[in-house]
């Protein structure tokens, strides 16, 4: 919401897995020749759906990795195939063509978009360290809401100080790739993946 990450970047910890699925980082990609085709990856932000003059739906968004960001245009034909998958904070790889309009304006024309699931090891779990005193009813409700928005297969453990560790019920298992950004905003470094 602020346009910056208050805690770790959501791609921290999975950058190696994402890198294996792309041809270049975004910083490397924008240095390539105009009209070259390749695959880049990152997290979607500032998704903007709009209509062309003909009335067809298209979208633009910023694709960001740990090295940089680039504007991606998804024209109507591509949007028809992939538009339903696009949302802010979704991690994707995008195959397409680099478009250098001038020295300062670089964009990427998407031809193929793949939502990236399972970039973390399947045995990973989410751990949240919080003192029992800080665990107010409001915080518990907020945490439950975030966890339930991102269902998946990874268990969640709450560390209450000392040796007290609670594993949350299986209805709170999460998709680590999607939940970690929001949980880190709430708990900072006290939320981690193991």
Q: What is the pLDDT of residues 74-128, one digit of tens each?
A: 999 999 999 888 988 888 999 999 998 877 788 999 999 998 876 655 557 888 8
Instruction: Flag whether 9 is in a domain.
Output: no
Q: Could you give the number of structural domains in the chain? A: 2
Q: Please check whether residue 172 is in contact with residue 145, taking contact to mean a CB–CB distance below 8 angstroms.
A: no
Query: What is the span of the domain harbouring residue 50?
Result: 15-115
Tell me the whole-structure pTM to 2 decimals. 0.59
Q: Is the dihedral of CA 99, 82, 126, 120 positive or negative?
A: negative
d(CA 152, CA 87): 18
Q: Does residue 161 sit in the same domain as residue 96?
A: no
Whole-Å CA distances, 107 to 37, 135, 172 = 12, 45, 39
């Amino acid at each position: 919401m602020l346009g910056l990450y208050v805690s770790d970047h959501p791609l921290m910890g999975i950058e190696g897995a994402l890198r294996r699925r792309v041809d270049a980082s975004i910083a490397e990609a924008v240095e390539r020749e105009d009209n070259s085709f390749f695959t880049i990856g990152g997290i979607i932000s500032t998704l903007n759906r709009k209509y062309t003059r003909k009335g067809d739906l298209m979208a633009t968004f910023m694709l960001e990795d740990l090295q940089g960001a680039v504007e991606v245009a998804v024209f109507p034909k591509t949007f028809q195939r992939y538009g339903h998958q696009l949302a802010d904070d979704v991690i994707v790889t995008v195959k397409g063509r680099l478009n250098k309009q001038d020295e300062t304006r670089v964009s990427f024309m998407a031809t193929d978009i793949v939502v990236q699931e399972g970039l973390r090891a399947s045995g990973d779990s989410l751990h949240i360290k919080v003192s029992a005193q800080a665990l107010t009813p409001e915080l518990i409700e907020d945490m439950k809401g975030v966890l339930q928005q991102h269902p998946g297969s990874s268990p969640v453990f709450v560390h209450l100080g000392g040796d007290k560790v609670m594993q949350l019920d299986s209805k709170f298992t999460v998709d680590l790739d999607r939940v970690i950004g929001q949980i880190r905003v709430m708990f900072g470094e006290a939320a981690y993946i193991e």
